[in-house]
Amino acid sequence: MFFCRPCVNLTAGVYNRFFTSSIVVITCLLFALPVCLSPLICSSSTYNKTYVFNAKTAKLISHHKVEINQNFPKEGWVEEDPKEIIQSVYECMERTCEKLQQLNIDISNIKGGTVRRPWFWDKETGEPLYNAIVWLDLRTQSTVERLINKAPGKNKNHLKHKTGLPISTYFSAVKLRWLLDNVDEVRQAVMSERALFGTVDSWIIWCLTGGRNGGVHCTDVTNASRTMLFNIHTMDWDPELYRPACYALEGSVAIAGAVVRWLKDNMGIVQSSSEIEKLAAAAGTSYGCYFVPAFSGLYAPYWEPSARGIICGLTQFTNRNHLAFAALEAVCFQTREILDAMNLDSGIPLTQLQVDGGMTSNRLLMQLQADILCMPVVRPTMSETTALGAAMAAGAAEGVDVWSLSPGHLPQVMCEKYEPQINCEGTSSSFTINQGSQTCGPGAKCSNPACGMNLQSAKIPQSRLSKSF
C-alpha cells in the first residue's frame, strides 16, 4: 500500500500552472482544502465548480458547477463514485474553456489542460477499488469505539498530541481501516503492492498527471493533516522534524447546507434550495420548533456519533414555513456552539464573523446568524472565497507571479455587514433550549421543555475542537 507524498513546499512539485496573462483558472470541488495543479482543484461532497478570476481585481469572470451524486447503500453509509468525480472535473474544465472563448479570452497559453473523501485505487489498472466514502459516513463507528476502548483511559483524544485530532468517524484513518477489513479487492491489492491510497485531491492529481502512465501520487500537508495518520509537528507521515508550524482551531459541523438539501430531496418541502429563504421569511419564527440535523451524529464540540436528528416543539399550528425557519436556525445554533468552544480554548472572544460559501447568499440566514451570535456577520458579495484564495495562491506561486500577496497590492473585496437586530438575552434563551435538544437519545433526559422525549443534555467540555495545519 502506498501513501501520498505530503508536499510541504506547495509551489514546487504539486502545482502545475494553468493561467493566461493575468487570468488564473481554478477548478473547485467545493468545501475542501485547495490543491493546485492544471488547473487548481479542491474537493466537496456537493458540487464540482470551476471559477475564473482576474488576478488584478479578484473579480469572478466566469464559473461552472456540476452536482455530485451520493449513494446511500445502508443507513449511515454515504458513498460517491470516483469515476463520476473525475468526469465531472473534466466537464467543468471543458465548459469553463468554452465560456472563456465566448468572452474572447485566449486560452492558447493554457498548458497541460488535463485535468477529503478517502479511497483506494489500483495503480496498474487505474480503476478505483471501492467507492469514495464521504466524510459524514458512519459505518466506521464500531471501529472508532474499538480504538477508543484500546486507548489509555478510553480517551478519544489519545492521539491528539500527534495528529491534532480526536478519534472520530470524520477522519480518513478509520475509513482506511474499514476498507482493509471489509473489502477483499482492497486487501488483495495491498498485499500485491498495487494499492494507492489518498483523498480526493490525490485521486484527481494522479488522474490528471497521467494516471497509470506515470501519474503523480501526492497530497499537501493540509489535506494530510485531516487523515489522522499525519504528525502535525513533523509535517510528515514519519517523525522527521521539519519546521515549527502554525495552527488554527477548526470546528466541524456535519450538516449545514445539507439540511436544506434534505428538506428538498427527502421531505419534498421545496423544489429548489433557494425557496427555503422565502418560506422561512414568511414565518418569521420557528414558533417554538427546534431542529437538530444530527443525521450523521454530532461533530464539534460534542463528537457524539450515536446522536440522531430530531424535530421537536411541534404543534397543530406548525407548518412547513416554521420547519424551514427552524432548519436555518439550526445552522446558526451549530455555528454558535463552535464559536463558544473556540472562545473557551483560545480565550480570545470573536468580535465579528466573516463568512463565505453557498449558504451566505441566503440573507435571512445571515441576519439570523448575527442575531444568534450577538455580533456582526460580514459577507463578501463574491461568496466563493475558498476558490478565490486558491486562485490567489496559484497566481502568487514562484514562477507564476501574476498575483501579489503584498497587503498594499491586494484588491479590495466588497462586503455586506449584518448587525444584530434583536435582544441578545432572548437569543441566549433560544440557544440554551436548542442545546438541550442536541443529545436526545434513548435513556437520557432532555432539558428542552419543548421536547417530548426524556433526555439529558450533555455538558460540553473544553478543548473539543481539532487542529488544522
Model pLDDT for residues 360-371, shown as the tens digit of each residue:
889 999 999 999
5-245 with 250-376+419-468: one CATH topology? yes
d(CA 218, CA 35): 10
Q: Where are the domains of the chain?
A: 5-245, 250-376+419-468
Residue where the block lists cell 439529558? 456
Whether 32 has a pLDDT exceeding 50, the answer reads: no
Q: Which CATH architecture is the domain 5-245 placed in?
A: 2-Layer Sandwich (3.30)
Whether 302 has a pLDDT exceeding 50, the answer reads: yes
Query: Could you tell me which residues come within 8 angstroms of residue 432 by beta carbon, excluding any fewer than 6 positions away?
Result: none
Cell of 326: 427552524
Which of 357, 351, 348, 404 lies closest to 383, judged by CA? 357
Average pLDDT over residues 113-136: 75
Lowest mean pLDDT among 32-36, 228-232, 351-355: 32-36
Query: Could you tell me which residues come within 8 angstroms of residue 305 by beta carbon, excluding any fewer than 6 positions away?
Result: 138, 141, 144, 168, 169, 296, 297, 298
Amino acid at 79: E
pLDDT of residue 13: 25
Q: Is the peptide bond before 301 cis (omega within 30 degrees of 0)?
A: yes
Distance of CA 371 to the CA centre of its chain: 24
d(CA 390, CA 95): 20
Q: Which fold has domain 250-376+419-468?
A: Nucleotidyltransferase; domain 5 (3.30.420)
pLDDT in tens, 375-386: 999 998 887 787
Q: Quick check: helix, strand or coil at residue 128?
A: strand
Tally Cβ neighbours within 10 Å of residue 372: 23
Cell of 263: 428538506
Average pLDDT over residues 165-191: 89
pLDDT of residue 18: 28
Distance of CA 184 to the CA centre of its chain: 30
Cell of 273: 434550495
Cell of 174: 478509520
Which of 335, 341, 326, 334 lies closest to 355, judged by CA? 335
| pTM for this predicted structure | 0.52
Confidence band of 83 (pLDDT split at 50, 70, 90): confident
- Round the CA-based radius of gyration of the chain to a whole number and report it: 23
Cell of 7: 508536499
Q: Quick check: helix, strand or coil at residue 182?
A: helix
